[in-house]
Chain A
Amino acid sequence: MSDTPLLELRSISKRFAGVRALREVDLDLAEGEVHALVGENGAGKSTLVKILAGVHQPDEGEIRLRGEPLVLTGAAAARDRGIAVMHQHPNLFPDLDVAENVFAGRLPVARFGRVDWRRARSAAAALFARLGQPLDVTAPVRGLSVADQQLVEVAKALSLDARVLVMDEPTAALSGREVDRLFATVRQLREHGVAVLFVNHRLEEVFALADRVTVLRDGRHVVTAPIARLTPAETIRHMVGRQLDSLYPKQPAKAGEPALEVAGLTRAGVFRDVSFTVRRGEIVALAGLVGAGRTEVARALFGIDRTDAGEVRVGGRPVHIASPGDAMRAGLAYVPEDRHDQGLVLDFSIAANVSLPVLARLSRLLGVVDRGAERILAGDFAERLQIRATGVDQPAVGLSGGNQQKVVLAKWLATRPAVLILDEPTRGIDIGAKAEVHRIMSGLAAGGMAILLISSELPEVLGMADRVIVLHEGLVAASLTREEATQEGIMTAATGQASA
């Protein structure tokens, strides 16, 4: 490590629609170091990566490259200044071969503008040789494993003579052997003097690879230290330590009969042997880091994705769920994370949105929808959930995020489900609406509904859940009762530090 930092971030702040994603964050990268960036979901890691990639511009603060102020106006600007970003999902051209992907947009040309394929291939092969990872440069990228695709991204960065390489969750989709290979590649880059920013939340990997580590929490810089000065347990304490506020009032409810029983649920390559039970009146949280398989479990339960093994019982009866229709008939309802893409028809009125899953029930002769019954149904929910709108005929597009979320909730509650699956129900809505959603959830549970909650916010999980199932890389890493669950405990299991 040399004394002058290669890249410095000074007091970087960024807000999105009033939410502060980053507050006065400092970070520096030295030549030839692997610097790990860790933090919970939503700590600001992705925003920081996007600022370095030139996707977002900071509202305040300064980026310096070798002491010179740097303004990154776009992806091309970042690339031209020697900053390469490797995203979790490689952004390549699947139809083109490896060599062409490495040199996309700047293939070597010979006379008459003719592409010099031989030079492109030998140069690409030389890059992979330098990385110690020979790869067939004439193979189309579509058939490559994620690990090999990442290797192509690294080679691309090398060919651009990148001095800074940002790796955003590069190991999330890799197997153990592939991770070892990637680490060997990163060490090669370090030898070549490249500064690597390694964004990751698998602590064992951070401790195996990084020279220094920086922890972010709630958009703030918490600590930067040489890896030898920290232990995994200390790092986790830095990552969590979040304020628990009293916004989350789950009233105690008597847990009744098991409503949803899941045993050995498996989807090859995604999650394995997931088992848990949700009783009537209970809220069970699926916690874990992004990519641990929480949403994937929910999608499989709801019949959107196929499962390879496992048994699901609803209300004690075994059910076979092969489609969302099956799931709804079995008494499940799923409120997805992205209410724009999957939850709402924005151009429809509130009433039309709410009635969508129950149109059959509201239809009269020849399938003509009873508009009066539809409005009564929607009006009933609008009142119960306190949806603020000019009326049930208002199009959903004009509603606030919180009210849109309530419309989605109303839509699924209209199916009178026995089990409600909520995926990040409070993401992107303001604090007041959040409290209301929590109040509604608590009320539903008190009324005997079984709720499976997926949330990345630990305070929400701790406040709302009767039990917490922690997933780590597609496996159940811990199952904690309300009394046992702590932020540290959940994060320890979620980062793969739990021995259990």
Chain B
Amino acid sequence: MTSASRALAVAARLRELGIVVALALVVLVTTLLAPAFLHLDNLSQILLSVSLVAIVAAGETIVVLTRNVDLSVGSMVGLVAFVTGDLLKQHAVGLPEAILAGCLLGLALGGLNGLIVTVGRVPAIVATLGTLNVYRGLDFFVAGGKEVSAYDLPRSYLGIATSTAAGIPALIIAAAVIAAVVAFVLRSTRPGRALYAIGSNPPAAETVGIPSQRLVFAAFAASGLLCGAAGVLWGSRFGTVNAFAANGLELEVIAAVVVGGVNIFGGSGTVFGAMLGAVLLGTIDNALTLLRLSQFWLQAIDGAVILLAVGADASIRGAVQRALRVRGRR
């Protein structure tokens, strides 16, 4: 149709291509400087460390698409990780029950976020900033200064993270499956499309009869559920869980989502993009560690990548809007 809209469609596709190109650049430069980077072990290590962030980022994507944000993800993961580990340590329940309990706890925490935002009409950024602290406080209360260490945990639990299928670590498979399911729901189901509609134009969503409140609630609940899953896997992967587990994870997660091209104002973006964002940031972290750069550079470069990504989005949008205004009336 119009050249502007076609340009936009191309730009949206280029957005994900852009991340792939950035990723390729990082890989190329790092490989030249530190050939060890390309070893299969190292690449697998990158994906392993990214996989937990990726699972949480998939849930965050759902929330951000609706023009909301969930800042409490790190606290939810931490609380679930500790509670799951503690249940197993006390031999209170078997492994399947513990996993189920962890996921349900996440679902409940996310559901509470959803209630505060929809029924309580508290802006998501404030509501989840509150629950970020409340859930972490709860974590401290439950943990009481103790920690769960690998000695306390059953082998079967620790084995989840180290098991492989066809040579691929289970964590990576879990992240990929979760991303695929979320992608399917968002791309190809009515409720999924309604989430985009809500984020794109909230009043218009109401007028076409989309149950916005219920869906926003569901988005927060889904984010909680995925944090539950990530929390369960957290203990399995790291073995040791204290009240600081996953502290600050929300920043990594939101960074991945934003770098992945999910519009922070809702309505556009894909899980695939968010996954690419997580992989890009994880790869940069790994590369900088290999190159023995200080932690300072790590944070500064992560920050620069975010600004670059968001700046690129804004300038593309701005250019299209300007083109439209001049064309608007003759």
- Residues of A at the B interface (CB closer than 8 Å) are 75-76, 79, 91-96, 98, 100, 104-107, 109, 113-115, 117, 135-136, 138-146, 148, 173-175, 268-270, 474
- 8 residue pairs, one from A and one from B, having the closest CB atoms: A143-B5, A95-B267, A136-B1, A105-B208, A93-B200, A139-B5, A143-B4, A95-B268
Interface pair B189/A105, CB less than 8 Å apart: no
Roughly how many angstroms separate A95 CA and B15 CA in the complex, as a whole number?
Answer: 14
| A98, A104, A114: residue with the most chain B Cβ atoms closer than 10 Å | A104
Interface pair B267/A140, CB less than 8 Å apart: no
Does B291 touch A at the CB level, under 8 Å? no
Q: Apart from A105-B194, A140-B5, A175-B330, what are 14 other A-B pairs with CB-CB below 8 Å? A: A91-B204, A92-B201, A93-B205, A94-B200, A94-B267, A95-B200, A104-B193, A107-B190, A115-B193, A142-B320, A143-B1, A143-B320, A144-B2, A144-B5
Interface pair A91/B203, CB less than 8 Å apart: yes
Interface pair B210/A105, CB less than 8 Å apart: yes
In the complex, chain B residues whose CB is within 8 Å of the CB of A100: 193
Q: How far in angstroms is the closest Cβ of chain A from B184?
A: 8
How many residue pairs, one in A and one in B, have C-beta atoms under 8 Å apart? 120
Partner of B209, one of A76, A114, A173, A269: A76
Interface pair B190/A115, CB less than 8 Å apart: yes
Q: How far in angstroms is the closest Cβ of chain B from A2?
A: 30
In the complex, chain A residues whose CB is within 8 Å of the CB of B329: 173-175, 269-270, 474
Name A75's closest neighbour in chain B (CB-CB).
B207
Interface pair B5/A93, CB less than 8 Å apart: no
In the complex, chain A residues whose CB is within 8 Å of the CB of B194: 105
Q: What are 30 of the A-B contact pairs (CB < 8 Å)?
A: A79-B209, A94-B201, A94-B267, A95-B199, A95-B200, A95-B263, A95-B268, A96-B193, A96-B196, A96-B200, A105-B209, A106-B209, A113-B189, A114-B188, A115-B188, A115-B192, A138-B9, A139-B1, A139-B2, A140-B9, A141-B5, A142-B5, A142-B8, A143-B4, A143-B6, A146-B328, A174-B329, A269-B329, A269-B330, A270-B329
Interface pair B2/A148, CB less than 8 Å apart: yes
Does B276 touch A at the CB level, under 8 Å? no
A-facing residues in B104-129 (Cβ within 8 Å): none
A-facing residues in B292-330 (Cβ within 8 Å): 320, 324-330
Roughly how many angstroms separate A497 CA and B201 CA in the complex, as a whole number?
Answer: 38
Interface pair A145/B9, CB less than 8 Å apart: no
Q: How far in angstroms is the closest Cβ of chain A from B218?
A: 14
Interface pair A145/B190, CB less than 8 Å apart: no
Q: How far in angstroms is the closest Cβ of chain A from B149?
A: 44
Interface pair A143/B328, CB less than 8 Å apart: no
Does B197 touch A at the CB level, under 8 Å? yes
Given the known interface contacts A140-B5, A175-B330, the answer about A93 and B188 at a Cβ–Cβ threshold of 8 Å is no
In the complex, chain A residues whose CB is within 8 Å of the CB of B206: 75
- Overall SS of chain B's interface: helix
Roughly how many angstroms separate A11 CA and B268 CA in the complex, as a whole number?
Answer: 46
In the complex, chain B residues whose CB is within 8 Å of the CB of A105: 190, 194, 197, 205, 208-210
Interface pair B5/A268, CB less than 8 Å apart: no
Name A104's closest neighbour in chain B (CB-CB).
B208
Partner of B201, one of A91, A145, A474: A91
Interface pair A96/B197, CB less than 8 Å apart: yes
Roughly how many angstroms separate A93 CA and B190 CA in the complex, as a whole number?
Answer: 15
Interface pair A143/B210, CB less than 8 Å apart: no
Partner of A91, one of B4, B190, B207: B207
In the complex, chain B residues whose CB is within 8 Å of the CB of A270: 329
Q: How far in angstroms is the closest Cβ of chain A from B150?
A: 41
| A138, A140, A173, A474: residue with the most chain B Cβ atoms closer than 10 Å | A140
Contact indicator per residue, chain B 208-225, by CB within 8 Å of chain A (1) or not (0)? 111000000000000000
Interface pair A140/B324, CB less than 8 Å apart: no
In the complex, chain B residues whose CB is within 8 Å of the CB of A269: 325-330
Roughly how many angstroms separate A197 CA and B12 CA in the complex, as a whole number?
Answer: 38
Roughly how many angstroms separate A93 CA and B266 CA in the complex, as a whole number?
Answer: 11
In the complex, chain A residues whose CB is within 8 Å of the CB of B7: 143
Name A142's closest neighbour in chain B (CB-CB).
B8
Roughly how many angstroms separate A209 CA and B5 CA in the complex, as a whole number?
Answer: 30
Roughly how many angstroms separate A74 CA and B1 CA in the complex, as a whole number?
Answer: 34
Roughly how many angstroms separate A96 CA and B187 CA in the complex, as a whole number?
Answer: 11
Interface pair B324/A143, CB less than 8 Å apart: yes
Q: How far in angstroms is the closest Cβ of chain B from A150?
A: 13
Name B1's closest neighbour in chain A (CB-CB).
A136
Q: How far in angstroms is the closest Cβ of chain B from A49?
A: 14
In the complex, chain A residues whose CB is within 8 Å of the CB of B2: 139, 143-145, 148
Q: How far in angstroms is the closest Cβ of chain A from B207?
A: 4
A-facing residues in B1-49 (Cβ within 8 Å): 1-2, 4-9, 12
| A95, A115, A144: residue with the most chain B Cβ atoms closer than 10 Å | A95
In the complex, chain B residues whose CB is within 8 Å of the CB of A113: 189-190
Interface pair A143/B8, CB less than 8 Å apart: yes
Given the known interface contacts A136-B1, A144-B5, the answer about A268 and B325 at a Cβ–Cβ threshold of 8 Å is yes
